[in-house]
Amino acid sequence: MACISSNIETSVGVFESHHHRSLRSFVSIHRQCIFGNSVFFVRPLRLNSVFRHGPREHPLSNGYRSFSAAFNSIASDNGMPEERVVVLVIGGGGREHAICYALKRSPSCDAIFCAPGNAGITSAGDATCISDLDILDSSAVISFCQKWGVGLVVVGPEAPLVAGLANDLVKAGIPTFGPSSEAAALEGSKNFMKNLCDKYGIPTAKYQTFTDPSAAKKYIKEQGAPIVVKADGLAAGKGVVVAFTLEEAYEAVDSMLVKGVFGSAGCRVVVEEFLEGEEASFFALVDGENAIPLESAQDHKRVGDGDTGPNTGGMGAYSPAPILTKELQSLVMESIILPTVKGMSDEGCKFVGVLYAGLMIEKKSGLPKLIEYNVRFGDPECQVLMVRLESDLAQVLLAACRGELSGVSLNWSSGPAMVVVMASNGYPGTYEKGTVIQNLEEAEQVVPSVKIFHAGTAVDSDGNFIATGGRVLGVTAKGKDLEEARDRAYQAVEEINWQGGFYRRDIGWRALLHKQSSAKS
């Protein structure tokens, strides 16, 4: 079978190739999958074909009600048993764009929907975006999956997971890559995560949890500064304060417990020991009982060059991360990831999905400690991982959903990747929306191996991309080494014409410094 396609518009047709007189001209404007003597044509996506109103009902050849059914039946008729799947990706940021991009390259993936998606995903043809599907309405998502024959749902953001979307989808018999709401408490409650670490001997910073501000301040005074104050719940990445003075720590406690700046997410705080060292990100795919590591990655949280200024969701990342040696990765799996998977299973809430461990490699010991868990792919780390992944992502995620990860291995490109995030001026504070972004197509072509992932864009009435978020673009590049990946990413960035945006100019500096130090030693 030759397959050249992965996204669909609103109608498909199965044609016997010998009945189509003008096949060559037809194929020139269509994508096709060839099964023996049959050709399955998929029309290329137009920008507004389904973005505004969602997919329209169209009959499939021979009465098939889903794309996967049509594909699988034709494949079976031609003696090809390969399983094929239609995938729905939940979310609309740069992480979800990267997941769609990787799924598009998966040989077993028939078609990709993304809800709500974004303008960049649509424009690139990396998925069919369903902007009006309410991803927090489980019944609406289930109905969509049943109508369009979706055989795998990949949930990107944490909010739908904590709200129980995966629970409802699994109950409806729809394979879903993402944890239940109970298991998502690993991210949804820092106190839950810390208690699990205590119970199962997982190395983490010393801590106490408080609901009373006076008790929290007393503990802070006893411990001294620097110290870390965290809102217990989800606070959009803004609920962590690294306080270098007692006054800063007291102010953080008051803002959360007294002023309620994070609402219910901040009605309980975790006060923990300040760890000195280098942060790193570690990702593992989990099927409830087994876990397999992804490649290492490291991001830059601070908004300014030299890791200065306030924390952000991430201003850039690279993979692999030299700080995470093979020995350290094995140690992380044995001392942190696998005890977590076993602990969650023993607690009666098996974890299925991706575990994203935020680590601190302690300066004094050189050993990893767990800072926090996220229960989804990191952003922007996902972007560099997905461009390096060479395995069939759809099949790997299905194996995780079925509890079949044992024995699965992943293939990665040998060359590193780097992503430089372009953000709206003012981010992470107040920023302007609606500024025009130009030259994106030219930027992707200026050097080889560049892919631009959209995180916060829309298209205006004149057809221009405009910025709609804080972090807006993830300019990603691969290279034979980190220097080449960096140079390519920044060449592409400099080609983009966006007066309303900015970016860090030193992404990867820690890795490059580490490489130089290793070369000298």
Residue 407 confidence (pLDDT): 87
Residue 512 confidence (pLDDT): 84
In degrees, to the nearest 5, what angle opens at C-alpha 50 toward C-alphas 422 and 132? 75
The single residue listed with the structure tokens 């996506």 is: 45
The single residue listed with the structure tokens 């991001």 is: 299
- Find all residues with CB under 8 Å of 161, minimum gap 6, and list them: 155, 178, 179, 181, 184, 187, 353, 375, 376
Whole-Å CA distances, 249 to 264, 269, 367, 429: 20, 11, 27, 21
Residue 77 confidence (pLDDT): 44
Residue 59 confidence (pLDDT): 35
Encode the chain (521 residues) as per-residue pLDDT tens digits: 333 333 333 333 333 333 333 333 333 333 334 333 333 334 333 333 333 334 434 333 333 345 545 545 444 443 434 679 999 999 999 999 999 999 999 999 999 999 999 999 999 999 999 999 999 999 999 999 999 999 999 999 988 998 999 999 999 999 999 999 999 999 999 999 999 999 999 999 999 999 999 999 999 999 999 999 999 998 877 789 999 999 999 999 999 999 999 999 999 999 999 999 988 889 999 999 999 999 999 999 899 999 999 888 899 999 999 989 999 999 999 999 999 999 999 999 999 999 999 999 999 899 999 999 999 998 999 999 999 999 999 999 999 999 999 989 999 999 999 999 999 999 999 999 999 999 999 999 999 999 999 999 999 999 999 999 999 999 999 999 999 999 999 999 999 999 999 999 999 998 888 766 666 65
Residue 516 confidence (pLDDT): 65
- Strand-pair category, 38-42 with 12-16: antiparallel
Whole-Å CA distances, 254 to 58, 65, 227, 238, 260: 57, 56, 15, 15, 8
* 357 close to 373: Cβ distance less than 8 angstroms: yes
**Angle, in degrees to the nearest 10, between helices 393-401 and 94-104:** 110
Radius of gyration of the chain (CA): 23
The continuous run of DSSP H or E covering 293 comes out as strand 291-293
Nearest alpha carbon to residue 384 among 310, 301, 433, 451: 451
Residue 520 confidence (pLDDT): 61
Residue 256 confidence (pLDDT): 97
**Angle, in degrees to the nearest 10, between helices 94-104 and 381-388:** 10
Residue 57 confidence (pLDDT): 40
Nearest alpha carbon to residue 285 among 277, 294, 272, 297: 294
Residue 212 confidence (pLDDT): 97
> Would the pTM of this model clear 0.85, i.e. be above it?
no
Q: Please tell me whether residue 131 adopts helix, strand or coil conformation.
A: coil
Residue 521 confidence (pLDDT): 58
Does residue 175 have a cis peptide bond before it, meaning omega lies within 30 degrees of 0?
no
3-class secondary structure per residue, 448-490: CCEEEEECCEEECCCCCEEECCCEEEEEEEECCCHHHHHHHHH
Residue 258 confidence (pLDDT): 96
The single residue listed with the structure tokens 């949930």 is: 155
Cα 88 to the center of its chain, rounded Å: 14
Amino acid at 200: Y
Compute φ and ψ for 194, nearest 5 degrees: -65, -40
Residue 464 confidence (pLDDT): 96
Residue 81 confidence (pLDDT): 42
3-class secondary structure per residue, 399-429: HHHCCCCCCCCCCECCCCEEEEEEEECCCCC
Q: What is the DSSP letter of 79?
A: T
Residue 310 confidence (pLDDT): 87
Residue 14 confidence (pLDDT): 34
Distance CA 44, CA 41 (A): 9
Nearest alpha carbon to residue 339 among 325, 328, 351: 351
The single residue listed with the structure tokens 């609402």 is: 263
- Find all residues with CB under 8 Å of 247, minimum gap 6, and list them: none
Residue 7 confidence (pLDDT): 39
